[in-house]
Amino acid sequence: MKIAVIGTGYVGLVAGVCFADAGHHVLCVDRDASKIASLKEGRIPIYEPGLEDLLHQSRARLEFTTDTAAAVRAAKVVFVAVGTPEKADGSADMAPTMAVVEAICTAANEKKYIVLKSTVPVGTAKIVKARVAELTKHPMEIVSNPEFLKEGAAIDDFLRPDRVVIGCATQDAEDVMRELYDPFVKNGNPILFMDNASAEMTKYAANAFLSVKISFINELALLADELGADINQVRKGFTSDKRINPAFFHPGVGFGGSCFPKDVKALVHTGRAAGVPMAVVQAADEANDRQKLVLYDRIEKHFKGDLKGRTIAVWGLAFKPRTDDVREAPALYIIEKLVRAGATVRAYDPVAMETARVASSVKYEEAATALDCVKGADALAIVTEWNEFRSPDLEQLKTLLKQPVVFDGRNVLDPVKASKVGFTYYCIGRQAVGQVSDQTGRKEKV
């Protein structure tokens, strides 16, 4: 089938490449000419494991262009995968999506299947349908097909999704979408067909629920810190209940990225507009705002409020490992606070150095390696749980740091080992500095 994907970002590019891998001819469209130029040369503008290899394998079935109209005319199915960023009032900015819908209608020469892949507020398909009817005489199908891929594992998620959600109103649209997605659900996972509004809401429900899980465990971890409990033991205990899925229950420095923060705010806004408060989701969002600064607060407290002249090494800038995406990354919030408090920050990330440099509101030093980053620093803050940060040589780390102090925002180090080497070690919800739990969870002094 001939497909156009408009918006060649984290979602659109992955979708386009994966559909091409499945044998379809895909026109990837973006208004960013430099992005399209580098894609034409076989260079991908983002870091996503496996994407470049798959792109090369499917190159014969992929075209990259800035010409939306030509792509729309050539394609039967047109995916819309542009951004839906947060507006000042928390609602999703639908201007990019509506601009693309209008461009599709202007260019269309026959019936098209317009597939809304971006995360769009409930009711968008209805609005799009009405707008399309104003703009073109061609019979258009409006399909809602939210995307659930995770950056860092996007290829696997797209090729082997837990489920595919399709909102549409006709058998014709259902047949076309089934044909497109059948190759990806050979493992027996479902393609769930439903009405458009339910499909749109499913995406927000998923992201909101995951955000609630994170904020829930983060708040519990803070309480565990105060009360001397160990959140790992607590997690094991309460997630042994079959009704509670243990995945995604790891405390840290809060959620970031291009999806959860804005989608949570958008759902709260939608609820408010509908007169149905999304109080649980709003609380998760507020807890996350506090959590993003927990590590900073601990650093400030450790240095008794005096950060002037201190150098803090920061490991990790991306909002999570295996991506270069720094949108809403907790690291950027922490760094901004540190710099504004007078500290010098030296940061290292395996892939997100460039994206962070562009996104940061403050200047900080950059290190070429994780070890260079800590040399002569007063403390180390671990903010993203990249694998390479999980097992550092602690003795070497101690000799490189000016003071053996670690603020582990992702609980990647072993508190017992860190304490035994002589580190003052802070983590999230495990045990107070200088205390470790034995296998049974009992506390003992080290």
Ligand X SMILES: NC(=O)c1ccc[n+]([C@@H]2O[C@H](COP(=O)([O-])OP(=O)(O)OC[C@H]3O[C@@H](n4cnc5c(N)ncnc54)[C@H](O)[C@@H]3O)[C@@H](O)[C@H]2O)c1
Interface ranges with ligand X (CB under 6 A): 6-12, 29-32, 35, 68, 81-84, 96, 99-100, 118-119, 147, 149, 151, 258-259
Least Å distance, CB 415 to ligand X, is 32
User: What φ, ψ does residue 65 adopt, rounded to 5°?
Assistant: -155, 155
Quote the tokens at residue 421. 């080497």
CB of 131 to ligand X, least distance (A): 15
Token pair, residue 139, equals 């019979």
Residue 340, helix vs strand vs coil: helix
CA angle 294, 247, 197 (to 5 degrees): 95
Name the residue nearer to ligand X (CB basis): 14 or 234: 14
Query: In this structure, which amino acid lies at residue 202?
Result: T
d(CA 295, CA 168): 45
CB of 375 to ligand X, least distance (A): 34
Q: In the complex, what is the shortest distance from the CB of residue 325 to ligand X, in angstroms, rounded to a whole number? A: 7
- Please give the sequence-ordered ranges of beta strands (E in DSSP) within 302-404, or none if there are none: 311-315, 344-348, 365-366, 379-382
Least CB distance to ligand X at residue 116 (A):
9
Residue 371 · residue 396 · CB < 8 Å: yes
Q: Is 259 marked active-site? A: yes
**According to DSSP H, which parts of 136-195 are helical?**
154-159, 171-181
Nearest residue (CB) to ligand X, 157 versus 378: 157
Provide the 10 A C-beta neighbour count for residue 244. Answer: 11
User: What single letter denotes the amino acid at residue 47?
Assistant: Y
Strands 443-445 and 405-408: what pairing?
unpaired
Angle between helices 279-291 and 196-227 (to 10 degrees): 50
Taking the complex as a whole, how short is the minimal distance between the CB of residue 298 and ligand X, in angstroms?
29
Contact 97, 80 (CB under 8 A): yes
CA 234 vs CA 288, 295, 420, 436: distances in Å: 20, 21, 24, 15
Task: Give whichever of 203 and 302 is closer to ligand X, judged by the CB atom.
Answer: 203
**Residue 15 vs 397, nearer CB to ligand X:** 15
Residue 423 neighbours by CB under 8 Å, 6+ apart: 394, 398, 404, 405, 406
| CA distance linking residue 442 with residue 212, whole number of Å | 29
Closest to ligand X by CB, 257 vs 409, is: 257
- Give the C-alpha separation, 190 to 188, whole Å: 6
Q: Measure the CA–CA gap between 151 and 105, rounded to whole angstroms.
A: 31
By beta-carbon proximity to ligand X, the closer residue of 54 and 81 is 81
> Nearest to residue 255, comparing CAs of 217, 216, 211, 222?
211
Report the nearest approach of ligand X to the CB of residue 35 (Å). Answer: 6
Angle between helices 196-227 and 124-135 (to 10 degrees): 150
Q: CB of 150: closest distance to ligand X in angstroms?
A: 6
Catalytic residue among 18, 105, 168, 259: 259
Nearer to ligand X, 68 or 311 (CB): 68
Burial of 31 from C-beta contacts in 10 A (0-12 / 13-18 / 19+): middle
Residue 32: CB atoms within 10 A of its CB come to: 14
The residue among 29 and 331 lying less far from ligand X, judged by its C-beta, is 29
**Active-site annotation, residues:** 259
